[in-house]
Amino acid sequence: MIEFARNTPPEVANWLRTQLGAMPNHPILIALATDERMSALWAELKKWQPEPLTFVQLAAHFSAPAILSALQTPPEERVGLSWPESPLGIAAEDFATRLECWPDAATELWGEPIDALVERLRAFASVAFERAKANQSVYDYIAEPRQGGRGGREQLVFREALSAALQRLSKDYSLPKERQDRIIAAIANVVFPEYRVDPETIRRHRQRQRRRQKGGDN
């Protein structure tokens, strides 16, 4: 039986329990569920209007190795963020092309003319590619980290992604930057226990990012 960190919201516990049922040895999910440092984080988020479940789902998502790797590149060069739509679209388009290459054999196997099948495959591919493009653009608001900092490269990328998401989520709510810094530091220490960061580290990095953006705009 999992002993969840104190103050874990019921909906978060249920989601983590389900995820751990499928991936019982997943270190990040285990940490998000049981690390006692999550208790202070849940207490901090208790006064925040958006559902805490959204936050922990984002933390789990952004900690995935494939996502961390993709987010270390500029937005226009990122790949691997639209799984599984993109490979499904490629497969459908490839199958349609192969059917057209051998129409007689394909018609015999299919039992009827393949024109309608090819048309449906191409329509499927078009939808898949559009969905992949939309999914990829969801991450464009997350800037590429341009310099190192305390916590290692992957933790820095994680902090950038979650901080950007947190700012977007809190646009309609009063969530001061100081609280955002405390939240990001707390979750980063749980997900990356080998590196220790504090709210002051997050604050300084945020200020550097702001100065860099201003310099780029001039």
pTM of the model: 0.67
Predicted confidence at residue 61, as pLDDT, reads: 84
Residue with the bigger pLDDT between 118 and 144: it is: 118
Question: For 141-191, what is each residue's pLDDT tens digit?
Answer: 676 666 555 557 888 889 888 887 777 776 666 677 888 888 889 999 999
- Tell me the pLDDT band of 95, cut-offs 50, 70 and 90: very high
- Residue 84, preceding peptide bond in cis (omega within 30° of 0): yes
Please give the Cα distance from 29 to 60 (Å, whole number). Answer: 7
Q: Rounded mean pLDDT of the chain?
A: 82
- Tell me the pLDDT band of 50, cut-offs 50, 70 and 90: low
Predicted confidence at residue 90, as pLDDT, reads: 80
- Tell me the pLDDT band of 14, cut-offs 50, 70 and 90: very high
Element (H, E) at 97: helix 85-101
DSSP code, position 122: H
Token pair in block for residue 129: 């590619």
Predicted confidence at residue 6, as pLDDT, reads: 92
Predicted confidence at residue 109, as pLDDT, reads: 94
Burial state string for 59-77 with b = 16 or more CB within 10 A and e = fewer than 16: bbebbeeebbebbeeebee
Residue with the bigger pLDDT between 61 and 106: it is: 106
Predicted confidence at residue 79, as pLDDT, reads: 62
Please give the Cα distance from 40 to 6 (Å, whole number). Answer: 8
What is the percentage of the chain residues whose pLDDT exceeds 70?
Answer: 78
Euclidean distance between the first and the last CA atom of the chain, given in angstroms as a whole number: 56
Helix/strand/coil percent split, the chain, to 5:
70, 0, 30
Predicted confidence at residue 64, as pLDDT, reads: 85
What is the mean pLDDT of the segment spanning 115-121? 94
